[in-house]
């Protein structure tokens, strides 16, 4: 009797951990993966002339694009940045959904 009761508690514990993992996956892990895919797509679709904001808050206009980096023109001069430092969220907050070219 005790052995059967012990096996039942182990099975229920395993089911509870599986349920917790499923909840974490759908509410935390999956949305983060989708957000990363959208961010990556945005970084790949950057064009010369776009105004952007980096993760560190640097504002500027893209004047040159290479494979993994871009040259950004700011008020103080030109800066070479990795593409993965460009933030989709910050750019859309500052320049809107369409990222309109000014000039």
Q: Which residues pair with 90 in a beta bridge?
A: none
CA distance 8 to 100: 62
In the predicted model, is pLDDT for residue 100 greater than 60? Answer: no
pLDDT digits (tens, 9 = 90+) for 27-81: 999 999 999 999 999 988 999 999 999 999 999 999 999 888 999 999 999 999 9
Whole-number pLDDT of residue 98:
61
Asked if residue 71 lies in contact with residue 80, where contact means CB atoms within 8 angstroms, the answer is: yes
Q: Which residue has the higher pLDDT, 9 or 46?
A: 46
Whole-number pLDDT of residue 5:
52
CA distance 28 to 73: 36
Rounded to an integer, the average pLDDT of 83-87 is 91
Whole-number pLDDT of residue 103:
39
Token readout for 49 is 């002339």
Of 90, 54, 99, 89, give the one whose Cα is nearest residue 72: 54
In the predicted model, is pLDDT for residue 1 greater than 50? Answer: no
Quote the pTM value. 0.71
DSSP H or E segment with residue 63: strand 59-65
Beta pairing class for 59-65 and 51-53: antiparallel
The torsion angles phi and psi of 50, rounded to 5 degrees, stand at -70, 140
């Amino acid at each position: 009797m005790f052995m059967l009761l012990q096996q039942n508690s182990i099975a229920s514990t395993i089911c509870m951990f599986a349920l917790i993992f499923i909840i974490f996956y759908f509410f935390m892990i999956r949305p983060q993966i989708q957000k990363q895919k959208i961010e990556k797509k945005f970084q790949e679709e950057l064009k010369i002339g776009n105004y952007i904001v980096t993760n560190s808050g640097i504002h500027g206009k893209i004047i040159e694009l290479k494979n993994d980096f871009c040259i950004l023109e700011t008020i103080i001069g030109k800066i070479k940045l990795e593409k993965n430092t460009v933030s989709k969220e910050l750019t859309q907050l500052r320049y809107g959904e369409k990222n309109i070219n000014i000039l």
